[in-house]
Structure 1
């Protein structure tokens, strides 16, 4: 049987995304076949599509996009336990492939989908949520009473970082543009700094305990932002490494998120308990994926965008 799939056959601009008719996969040993309800767009996929990640994330072409998946189990491969046809699942796929009508996924990467949100919305959770969880809890070790600066709170990862840091009991100061400020406050930020209006460090009345940086920075801006952290504090960056002067005693961590189903299950639990919400800014069809890439590269996407086959 055939299905639609969004693939790249070469690296380049968004025009290299093609919508192919391909054979529906069959689940291999340890896999399940998922009927995809939705995937979601992550800006890193635009960098992958452009060929900018080949040095440390090489992929073979043609390559089907889509790391996030939410859907329903349609078939179970040999040796796969703990699933039944019809189960609603969510997960991050290390080899991508969710920008399609069906995808075969290792059962070990999937957890039960949240029950409190539409299944299509659950696709916004895995990549961005895991990145945020590990930035806040694993690397940032955010605890109650700390002052935490979230740089780039208006993006998909930023929405989760803000909520998780607040859930941990921190005082959260967030940077965002005017168009995102209201949403960032709703996610729990105690104060929002418009980074387009003034330098972030200059807007603070005193240094913060930790900086969670979620956006690319110029060398000049990285140095300026590092000055916002108190001596002996902590910087965690998922984008540009932010290196403070050695004499400050500030610890700097440049992290890359990893797949962890225990963390994902914990996020699902928080979502279903109403302690975390999803910031879905738009929903589009698979045939619009190239346009989503273009909008992202133009800086015109806020929050998470889900893609429905």
Structure 2
């Protein structure tokens, strides 16, 4: 929706922060309608999706690593329809359905995006659902294939399978032929099992120890923040010569047992996004959308996440 009053520029709705702080810093308000540059397209947003990292950005905890100009429009994932194309754009036309990772600005009615960052949205799922793919899907893809180098027959432990990244990581590891064990609460267990986990450890009732596993794993994917004490125990779940990949708390290596550990930060990669979309189109990867809410309720989603109430992927629709 855009609005125009006499003598003013067109405007739209956006979820923005003007300061760092708690969830009350998020305002759902009028903002200027952007105009695409020569290499950009203007997208009518179908949905963005919530990523827990955005709570840290909103609070100012990422300012040293990811500084942004205020006011800043939240929303890293986008799916939508192209409504205008820049003069240099050749790959997209008005009416095309797209998806991509923008690292901000997608929490709005419209957003401009460089065409090089976008891919054609999958036709097999609702357009809004495609917004759940970019950040979580790319993070999982890089953890499983680039850093974890998962191969058929390996034993893989996904710590935090009930989250957005965890759902994709479980599916991708299983698709690669791994024997997947996953930690998940009772509310996520059935979904995680459908996604390919052969064993589920309910972390709310069973400590994640060697006794909870059938045998040490080849690879541990740590997708959740853990305390220093728990972090120190995780290498003991991995066989000698095995590997740990963490997207959250850095996990120490165990040099005595040659267990290596790596902390990763996902990057934007459209070619990988296209490969992920191809798996969605084939039905090999599904998108677990647990909730769809109006964009104006983004502050409530942030509060719920910080209280531990968010599972899977939550969509925000302008």
TM-score scaled by length of structure 2: 0.96
Structure 2 CA distance, aligned partners of 1:30 and 1:105?
8
Report what 1:133 is aligned to.
141
**1:115 and 2:123 are equivalent in the alignment:** yes
Report what 2:157 is aligned to.
149
Structure 2 CA distance, aligned partners of 1:151 and 1:137?
17
Following superposition, the deviation at residue 205 of structure 1 comes to 2.4
Structure 1 CA distance, aligned partners of 2:226 and 2:99?
32
Structure 2 CA distance, aligned partners of 1:56 and 1:204?
36
Deviation per CA, 1:80-99: give whole Å up to 9, x if none. 111110000000003x1010
Following superposition, the deviation at residue 21 of structure 1 comes to 0.7
Structure 1 CA distance, aligned partners of 2:311 and 2:201?
17
RMSD of equivalent CA atoms: 0.7
Report what 2:249 is aligned to.
240
Structure 2 CA distance, aligned partners of 1:121 and 1:59?
27
Following superposition, the deviation at residue 244 of structure 1 comes to 2.7
Report what 2:55 is aligned to.
46
Structure 2 CA distance, aligned partners of 1:299 and 1:216?
12
1:169 to 174, 177, 180: 177
2:265 to 236, 256, 261: 256
Structure 1 CA distance, aligned partners of 2:47 and 2:86?
21
Report what 1:15 is aligned to.
24
Structure 1 CA distance, aligned partners of 2:235 and 2:54?
28
Structure 1 CA distance, aligned partners of 2:254 and 2:89?
51
Following superposition, the deviation at residue 277 of structure 1 comes to 0.1
Report what 2:3 is aligned to.
none
Correspondences of 1:66-215 after superposition (within 5 Å): 66-94=75-103, 96-201=104-209, 202-215=211-224
Following superposition, the deviation at residue 223 of structure 1 comes to 1.2
Following superposition, the deviation at residue 246 of structure 1 comes to 1.3
Moved more, 136-145 or 73-82: 73-82
Structure 2 CA distance, aligned partners of 1:119 and 1:286?
16
Structure 1 runs of 4+ with >2 Å offset: none
Following superposition, the deviation at residue 214 of structure 1 comes to 0.1
Report what 1:225 is aligned to.
234
Gap regions ≥5 residues in structure 2:
1-9
TM-score scaled by length of structure 1: 0.99
Following superposition, the deviation at residue 217 of structure 1 comes to 0.6
Structure 2 CA distance, aligned partners of 1:184 and 1:103?
33
Structure 2 CA distance, aligned partners of 1:245 and 1:138?
21
| 8 Å Cα contact 2:254/2:260 also seen in 1 | no
SS in structure 2 of the partner of residue 105 of structure 1? strand
Structure 1 CA distance, aligned partners of 2:253 and 2:113?
41
Report what 2:293 is aligned to.
284
SS in structure 2 of the partner of residue 33 of structure 1? strand
Gap regions ≥5 residues in structure 1:
none
